[in-house]
Structure 1
Amino acid sequence: MGTLLGFSAQGACKFGFYKFLKKTYSDMAGPDNAVKYKTLIYLAGSASAEVIFDITLCPFEAVKQKRAT
């Protein structure tokens, strides 16, 4: 049950970060460039969301691993 809740929270947070960053990067690029470079903006948003959430998750994973041993 804990794994289900953990992965659900992880997915929800990554998706939220992705949507936020995709909009932010599109706004930074401007309307014309946002359309022209849509794929790159989506990739950058996805990669950024992954990095941000992984850095946020690392301390919790370390504690979980420490308790398991």
Structure 2
Amino acid sequence: MATSSASQPSLVRSMLADLDIEPGQRVLDVGTGTGWTTALLAARAGARNVVGVELDPQVPTRLARV
């Protein structure tokens, strides 16, 4: 049973456009899954301003083996 998935790129684009993150703003991304959206947020806000938290401890382990 999958507990994580990557969102459709067009949906992520729309969500990030609505969020309107600017450089220097701080962001908490809960349920990072693949980390793709977290990486996009970091590119916009700056890597030091984004914290990603994955709730399922098995997700990072499974992703590391892919």
Q: What TM-score bracket applies, with the shorter chain setting the length?
A: under 0.3
TM-score by length of 1: 0.24
Q: Which of the pair is proportionally richer in helix?
A: 1
TM-score by length of 2: 0.25
**Rg comparison, structure with higher value:** 1
Q: Which of the pair is proportionally richer in strand?
A: 2
